[in-house]
Structure 1
Amino acid sequence: MHRITGAAALWLLTSQQGALAHPHSFISLQSEVMVADGHFYALKMRWTMDEITSADLLYDAGDAPAGSEVWKKLAAEVMANVLGQHYFTEVWHNGKKVTFRDRPTSYSLARENHQAVLSFVLPLATPQPLAGQTYTFSTFDPSYYVDMHYDDDKDARLPADLASRCTLKVTTPTPGDEVLDFANSLDKADAPPEDMNLGKQFAQQVTLQCQ
């Protein structure tokens, strides 16, 4: 049986899952707004992959110690795929999409029990002012092959010194029956039309609002 490479394992699963409805893979998100000099300049991300999604990455890593060249190579492969999808993330301000730098300022891949954890800092192309401003951001796979979600609203965080001036709110959408039925009709070999942006319809939205 052909084994999926570590780079692809971020959003592809082994054939053991069979033909099931979308999504096929699950990633638990944590994010923290990074601030300096009154400006929002980056998101600190932590993505924990489910055990099946993690299996190939952990197999490739073997018994290599944390921080070794093996882990660095795997991290680079996974990060390259994430970059190819614009970090799977959108940030919006005043109806306009905020752009990102084309490389993370740091990233790493690690093992936690039977799960792979990707951590990285997603830098905005230009730091954005916070005072009196509202931003929204969301992380999702457009195809909805991967369900990317916050297990708890508290997994989207603010730095402690910003808590008195800003709030974060996580909103979880409720797609209609037609969208749910369509997602349930897809198997592993199917891909929804690109213009449908299926994953975005399931994506949680985080709202950052500052005084």
Structure 2
Amino acid sequence: MMKHCGPRVLAGLLMLFSMATIAHPHSFIDMNTTFIAKDQKLVGLKMVWVMDEMTSADLLYDAENAKSDSEIWKQLAAEVMANVLAQHYFTDIYRDGKPVKYLNLPTEYQLSRQGNKAVLEFVLPLSEAQPLVGKPFKISTYDPTYFVDMSYQDQKALQLPPEMAKHCELHLMTPKPDLSLKTYAMSLDKSDSPPEDLALGQQFAQRVTLTCK
């Protein structure tokens, strides 16, 4: 019988990170994103989040040896996805200085196992298709508290389908916060929360720029 994980749930993805180390960040998500286009318009992002082994421990314990298509995995996927949605996918999308809106529900999602790691896959759909040609899209995915490090290993973790690759370019920028900010982040205990106005996670967040001509 599945051991319900509800009591361990904290706000947002923090429900996954009960087994933390001493300093920020406590948990790590390795991201991969594929852009989705139709009729020369951007319609969504296909995201794959691979969680570190410590972060994944509770989820994989609850799933035990259940098959990937079992009700246990479906229930766990729904719980995790609900928390991601509560934090607006942890993602900001801007164009010409204005936020690009997206739908409150993914068009698809699933949770699976990759060895000792849990993998969340979902499609973030834009509320309105955006013409590819025009001002660049600027996208950041991050935990505002920097409790979780959400990052791309390199630009190869960003993919364009063939029809977009012909006239679109991607650029991944990884910020280099100053030493004082790094020292402050490392000084935070697992029970500490940085002040909201500091926007700690945003200062460490990578920025993806999509430009099409």
Whether the TM-score (by the shorter chain) exceeds 0.5 is: yes
Whether the aligned pair in 2 keeps the contact of 1:7 and 1:78 (CA below 8 Å) is no
Q: 2:17 corresponds to which residue? A: 13
Amino acid at match of 1:90: D
Q: 2:173 corresponds to which residue? A: 171
Q: 2:96 corresponds to which residue? A: 94
Q: 1:85 corresponds to which residue? A: 87
| TM-aligned CA deviation for residue 153 of structure 1 | 1.2
SS at match of 1:73: helix
| TM-aligned CA deviation for residue 178 of structure 1 | 2.0
Percent identity of equivalent pairs: 51
For 1:65 and 1:7, the matched residues in 2 are separated by 23
Distance 1:10 1:53, change over 3 A: farther
TM-score (norm 2): 0.92
Whether the aligned pair in 1 keeps the contact of 2:5 and 2:62 (CA below 8 Å) is no
Q: Among 119, 122, 144, which residue is 1:120 paired with?
A: 122
For 1:133 and 1:67, the matched residues in 2 are separated by 41
Q: 2:106 corresponds to which residue? A: 104
Structure 2: gaps (5+ residues): none
Structure 1 residue ranges, 4+ long, deviating more than 2 angstroms after superposition: 3-15
Whether the aligned pair in 2 keeps the contact of 1:7 and 1:77 (CA below 8 Å) is no
SS at match of 2:99: strand
Asked if residue 140 in structure 1 is aligned to residue 162 in structure 2, the reply is no
Asked if residue 157 in structure 1 is aligned to residue 147 in structure 2, the reply is no
TM-score (norm 1): 0.93
Structure 1: gaps (5+ residues): none
For 1:143 and 1:42, the matched residues in 2 are separated by 26
Superposed, which structure 2 residues align to 1:71-82 within 5 Å? 71-82=73-84
Whether the aligned pair in 2 keeps the contact of 1:4 and 1:14 (CA below 8 Å) is no
For 2:73 and 2:36, the matched residues in 1 are separated by 26
More off after superposition, 34-43 vs 155-164: 155-164
Q: 1:32 corresponds to which residue? A: 34
Amino acid at match of 1:68: S
